[in-house]
Amino acid sequence: MFNKIFIVFLVLLPIIEGKHCSRCTCVSEKAQARNFEDALSKSRHENHMIRSQTIHLGNYFAASISTSEGKQIGFIHDVFDLSMSIPQNSEIHIQPRFQKIEKNQEFVHLFYDINHRGLFIELPIPGNYTSSQISLPKWSASSIIIPEGYQAILYTHDDFTGDFIVLTSSQKDFGKFNDRMVSMQISKGFEEKPEYVAIVHSHQNYNGKKIGLTIGESLEIESSKIQSIMISPGNEVFVFEKNILIDVHSVSVPNSVPNYPRYQQFIATIQVHPINGKQSEYAVFYDDIEFKGPHFTVVNVPVTYNKTNGKLSSMKIPLNHEVVLYEEENMQGVHIILSGHIPNLSIYLFNDRAMTIVYREKQTESIQYVEIYERTNFLGVRRIIPMGYSIVKQNFPVGSIRVPSGLFVSIKNLPVFPLKFERQYMYISDCDDARYFIETPLISIRVGKF
């Protein structure tokens, strides 16, 4: 397996033996567990890294696998032996086996090795898990146990993107998908009429009144009556408010759909379309920073949106695509070209400022902005200044500036001394030390072409 090693152990784990007496010939498993736990608590090497031969853990202890920094990776139950692989440079500790606290909570068991052996983690279901929420290393999972009635979708990239595979039952071997998974979505299995490809439910967790949808069919429904959607694998559900695409869902969603404060009582139009093996690529534009608040989704390119009401603070742009933001309607005024996930447009001096959005495939144009750094030598907080004229509303000292070839930047700032005129400087290339602007707030910045 990729990036896996087999550990060769060096030191024997101290063996805790039960004492024999004339009244008993063996010690019960629970008594052994208590003796083992007492011995560990008294030992100077409690939870020390185990280097041993095969260890029979029983029902009351587990091998805890963690990184050298102490971050939990997963557990091994029952038996630990040399044939089980664990991540490189990881440590092994013995500890009492934890009991599940949640009542009626079900879990998916995700294993590092094939055949449901060795290192594993438990993931509560239903749930959506990005790479940061899965403690196993990226590209390492090889088998899975899925409770009856649930399905898991495994993705090759984070945030549920890239190639994917839909699993409706436990798998001892992912086959061609071995060591490829990065993120995963787990939801209730699809159990409805064969012609239905999506079921809209009035309550969370697929409860309450339900309406079935077939491919190509449109459903108009009050948004407050959409609390969960079950989606047949291989399909996508599009949610519209009037002619604006609000969201796209490609896997079953158990809770609060949609959950948009601005649109709580709108009449939604819902449609289902087949994925044909690959999900749609779409951009999402949010009113608030950190991808929160009211938002709308754009699937097709190229497309232009006017009259955003100046309420745009963050956005998610898929790979190989980009967005041009304009300060005025009809693609006029100051503009900037951006791509990728942008959690806060303040860094680009464009928070709640865009009136026109152009979403398109990535172009080969040169960089159209200037970078200004808080400190010299291009260090500290960075601001991205777009083409055109920008008013700086917050105090921001300038220590260094990057100016791409073919552009210039003209900067005005308040006078350092109580003079009656303002200072203005122009840069046509990089400047690693703009000391005149240290501790001096800016007034305005203009970026243009020669």
pLDDT along the chain (450 residues), means of 10: 42 36 45 58 47 72 84 88 82 75 74 92 90 91 91 86 82 91 84 83 81 88 86 86 80 72 72 76 87 82 78 89 89 87 89 90 79 88 84 76 89 64 81 74 80
User: Pick from 32, 67, 96: which residue ends a domain?
Assistant: 96
Count of domains observed in the chain: 5
- Whether 195 is covered by a domain: the verdict is no
Q: 145 and 180: one domain?
A: yes
Q: 378 and 351: one domain?
A: no
Dihedral, CA of residue 427, residue 430, residue 434 and residue 437, to nearest 10: 60
pLDDT at res. 21: 40
Q: Is 60 exposed, middle or buried (0-12, 13-18, 19+ CB in 10 A)?
A: middle
**Element of type H or E holding 36:** helix 29-42
246 is in which domain, residue-wise? Answer: 214-274
Q: 357 and 375: one domain?
A: no
Dihedral, CA of residue 259, residue 264, residue 267 and residue 270, to nearest 10: 0
**Residue 346: closest CA among 392, 401, 305:** 392
User: Pick from 309, 329, 361: which residue ends a domain?
Assistant: 361
Q: 235 and 166: one domain?
A: no
Show contacts of 433-437: CB within 8 Å, 24+ apart. 433/376, 433/377, 433/399, 433/400, 434/376, 434/398, 434/399, 434/400, 434/401, 435/376, 435/399, 437/397, 437/398, 437/399, 437/411, 437/413
Q: Are 319 and 359 in contact (CB under 8 A)?
A: no
Mapping DSSP to helix (H, G, I), strand (E, B) and coil, where does residue 284 land? strand
- Whether 43 is covered by a domain: the verdict is yes
- Whether 182 is covered by a domain: the verdict is yes
Mapping DSSP to helix (H, G, I), strand (E, B) and coil, where does residue 399 land? coil
pLDDT at res. 258: 65
Q: 427 and 375: one domain?
A: yes
- Whether 130 is covered by a domain: the verdict is yes
**Residue 270: closest CA among 169, 350, 196, 347:** 196
Q: 410 and 435: one domain?
A: yes
Q: What is the pTM of this model?
A: 0.49
Structure tokens at 35: 């003796």
State the Cα–Cα distance between residues 1 and 86, nearest whole angstrom.
Answer: 11
Q: Are 351 and 319 in contact (CB under 8 A)?
A: no
304: domain CATH number is 2.60.20.10
State the Cα–Cα distance between residues 206 and 228, nearest whole angstrom.
Answer: 6
Q: 344 and 291: one domain?
A: yes
Q: 70 and 8: one domain?
A: yes
The DSSP 8-state label assigned to residue 354 in this structure reads -
pLDDT at res. 20: 38
Residues 6 or more apart whose Cβ sits within 8 Å of residue 411: 398, 424, 425, 426, 427, 437, 442, 444, 445
Q: 88 and 127: one domain?
A: no
State the Cα–Cα distance between residues 347 and 438, nearest whole angstrom.
Answer: 19
State the Cα–Cα distance between residues 385 and 409, nearest whole angstrom.
Answer: 9
- Whether 10 is covered by a domain: the verdict is yes
- Whether 193 is covered by a domain: the verdict is no
- Whether 120 is covered by a domain: the verdict is yes
- Whether 207 is covered by a domain: the verdict is no
Q: Are 15 and 50 in contact (CB under 8 A)?
A: no
pLDDT at res. 25: 35
User: Pick from 257, 274, 291: which residue ends a domain?
Assistant: 274
Q: 292 and 345: one domain?
A: yes
Strands 106-111 and 143-145: antiparallel
Q: 441 and 425: one domain?
A: yes
Q: Are 64 and 72 in contact (CB under 8 A)?
A: yes
Q: 56 and 76: one domain?
A: yes
